[in-house]
Amino acid sequence: MKKQTQAAFNNFRLTVLKFDELNVMSVKTETESLFKKLKRQSDKFYSGLIEYLAEQNGFEADKYDLDELLATYSRTLLYAFSSEMERKQSRYFETILSIGDLSDPEILVQQKKNVRNWNMQVEEFAVDMERTIFLRELQDSGVKRVQWVTAQDDKVCAECADLNGRVFEIGNVPRRPHIGCRCWLKGV
């Protein structure tokens, strides 16, 4: 997935290397096309994740609507995937307009930042999606409570360490405290 994202941004940059006021709309169209491609790639990744979870946990994959899951606000990132995708697209277009020359080394700095941010967003929504599905499946099977479990190593942050071992009602589980949180939940 990360390589596909990098390739999509690289191909975009090569497509619109130089522009002027006459082809700003062309750059806008190309930017929209780039983000549609990124969305298709991420949707394929998420659909594969749902299929995998369904196979591993014995539920029907079509039980979960991808668009509905992506429209849900991430309690960790504090935004919905679709609205953030539109924001990232607008910001990228604005960056191109402000730099003005895609052969400028600064555009590569910005591109790396955009690739990193896009991949982080996809990964974090995958974790949120997996957690949402896990909790729904537990609840559907009659489980009422879950226990918070950390990775139990020296990288565990203080906030996660405080949650380790605590039991929560399944409808009242705290959000993941930070991006990259490696904690998981266990049915009780």
What is the reported pTM?
0.88
Distance CA 4, CA 70 (A): 20
**Mean pLDDT score of the chain:** 90
CB 135 within 8 A of CB 117: no
Decide: helix, strand or coil at residue 43: helix
**Is 16's pLDDT higher than 80?**
no
Residue found by looking up tokens 């509905």 in the block: 68
Backbone angles phi, psi at 79, to 5 degrees: -155, 165
Structure confidence at residue 153 (pLDDT):
94
Structure confidence at residue 121 (pLDDT):
94
pLDDT by residue (tens digit) across 22-53? 578 888 888 999 999 999 999 999 999 999 99
User: What does the domain layout of the chain look like in residue ranges?
Assistant: 2-142, 143-188
Distance CA 115, CA 45 (A): 16
Distance CA 122, CA 84 (A): 11
Compute CA distances 156 → 6, 149, 161, whole Å: 30, 11, 6
User: Minimal CA–CA distance to 86: which of 31, 44, 41?
Assistant: 31
pLDDT by residue (tens digit) across 68-123? 999 888 888 888 998 899 999 999 999 888 887 777 888 888 889 999 999 999 99
| Cα torsion 12, 15, 19, 21: sign | negative
Backbone angles phi, psi at 80, to 5 degrees: -90, 145
